[in-house]
């Protein structure tokens, strides 16, 4: 069985050497290189072709976030796991945006680190406990902001977008009222505003228009 080839990138020598030693003691894993700064992380990845890169964030000559972005520009295959002390949301979001496959905190259990290395090679995302929830919350918030922006193109309020989404899903006025805790009269008022703003004649045309224009995703 071929060993997993790993590149360890960290400017703290004692910590880096410790990680290297522990990984080399693990059956099936082999550290093929070390990088002490972001520039070396980029050049060593290109030269050594590791399977997995363990990347710290706070490093000189490109920080880890910049290094990930530059590596991704030339290599889409290598798996990159951030291994850091930072639990800052901005670092988490930026690392994933730049192409990292995982984000782990250095205080994690050693066996968990080994498991995450194996997992990321199987296509699994690797996150320390709690960080995955932060990421999912951010994606949910982004989706909500995007939908709100789409509605604003037609001057639809957030509540009108809620009603329109339920119309697309085929709910009746009574069902919409129950789901949104509003009266049928209020539903009809919102629906009338929607028809007027979208320049359509009925709820069916409104639903078709909303899906066609990307206002509502009918696959949800």
Question: Which CATH number covers residue 183?
Answer: 1.10.10.10
Residue 8 tokens read as: 């360890």
Looking at the fold, whether 89 and 179 belong to one and the same domain comes out as no
What's the distance, CA 154 to chain centroid?
A: 29
Nearest CA-CA partner of 104 in 85, 124, 88: 85
pLDDT at 61: 86
Identify whether 218 is part of a domain. no
pLDDT at 140: 60
Looking at the fold, whether 126 and 17 belong to one and the same domain comes out as yes
pLDDT at 142: 59
Identify whether 47 is part of a domain. yes
pLDDT at 36: 96
Looking at the fold, whether 127 and 179 belong to one and the same domain comes out as no
pLDDT at 215: 84
The CATH number of the domain holding residue 61 is 3.40.50.2300
Identify whether 148 is part of a domain. no
Identify whether 145 is part of a domain. no
**E strands, the chain, where?**
4-9, 29-35, 52-55, 79-84, 102-105, 126-127
Looking at the fold, whether 26 and 113 belong to one and the same domain comes out as yes
Identify whether 60 is part of a domain. yes
Identify the domain containing residue 91 by its residue range.
Answer: 4-135
Q: Provide the domain count of the chain.
A: 2
Q: Which of the residues in the chain have pLDDT under 50?
A: none
pLDDT at 218: 67
Looking at the fold, whether 10 and 71 belong to one and the same domain comes out as yes
pLDDT at 90: 86
């Amino acid at each position: 069985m071929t060993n997993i080839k790993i590149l360890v990138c960290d400017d703290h020598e004692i910590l880096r050497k410790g990680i290297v030693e522990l990984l080399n003691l693990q059956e099936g894993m082999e550290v093929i290189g070390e990088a002490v700064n972001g520039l070396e992380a980029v050049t060593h990845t290109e030269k050594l072709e590791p399977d997995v890169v363990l990347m710290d964030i706070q490093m000189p000559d490109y920080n880890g976030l910049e290094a990930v972005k530059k590596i991704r520009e030339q290599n889409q295959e290598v798996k990159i796991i951030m291994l850091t002390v930072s639990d800052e949301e901005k670092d988490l979001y930026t690392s994933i945006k730049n192409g990292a496959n995982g984000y782990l905190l250095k205080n994690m259990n050693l066996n968990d680190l080994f498991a995450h290395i194996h997992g990321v090679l199987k296509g699994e995302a690797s996150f320390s406990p709690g960080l995955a929830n932060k990421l999912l919350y951010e994606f949910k918030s982004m989706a909500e902001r995007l939908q709100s922006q789409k509605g604003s193109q037609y001057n639809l309020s957030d509540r009108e977008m809620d009603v329109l989404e339920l119309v697309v899903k085929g709910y009746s006025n009574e069902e919409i009222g129950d789901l949104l805790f509003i009266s049928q009269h209020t539903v009809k008022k919102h629906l009338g505003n929607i028809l007027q703003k979208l320049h359509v004649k009925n709820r069916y045309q409104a639903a078709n228009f909303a899906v066609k224009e990307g206002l509502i995703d009918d696959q949800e």
